[in-house]
Amino acid sequence: MPPRRSTPKILHQAGELRKQTTPAERKLWAYLRLMRADGIHFRRQHAIGRYITDFCAPRKKLIIELDGSQHLEQEEYDKERTQYLNSLGYTVLRFWNSDMMKNIDNVLAVILQALEREHKE
């Protein structure tokens, strides 16, 4: 049996978070779901270890985090989290919620660049 990617408690938390999406998360999810036609599958509130990522494309090893103002107060936690995810081979992209809402084209361009880079490697 393969090892679990997280604990049952964290997996349950992830399921609960899927029910409480922010407007920025809903907007990005609508775009990420369209990428399925190209074979890129993202998951919302995807648990990895003791962390829950906003969006993750496991096969592409790409994580997208949308940060609100609360992240100004938890920089050290976010840094530790990103280092852990990087150690597992994931690329982590972070965007502010305001960028997501006001500048979606640039956000999507950065995501597509990261996916292309992953494809070339």
Across the chain, which has 121 residues, the per-10-residue mean pLDDT values are: 71 82 93 92 94 95 88 78 95 94 95 82 54
Domain count, the chain: 1
pLDDT score for 5: 73
Residue 56 lies in a domain: yes
CB 91 within 8 A of CB 114: yes
Residue 2 lies in a domain: no
Indicate which CATH number applies to the domain containing 44.
3.40.960.10
Q: Which range marks the domain in which residue 48 is found?
A: 8-120
pLDDT score for 95: 95
Answer whether 0.95 is exceeded by the pTM.
no
Going by C-alpha positions, the residue among 53, 15, 59, 17 that lies closest to residue 41 is 59
pLDDT score for 121: 54
CB 63 within 8 A of CB 90: yes
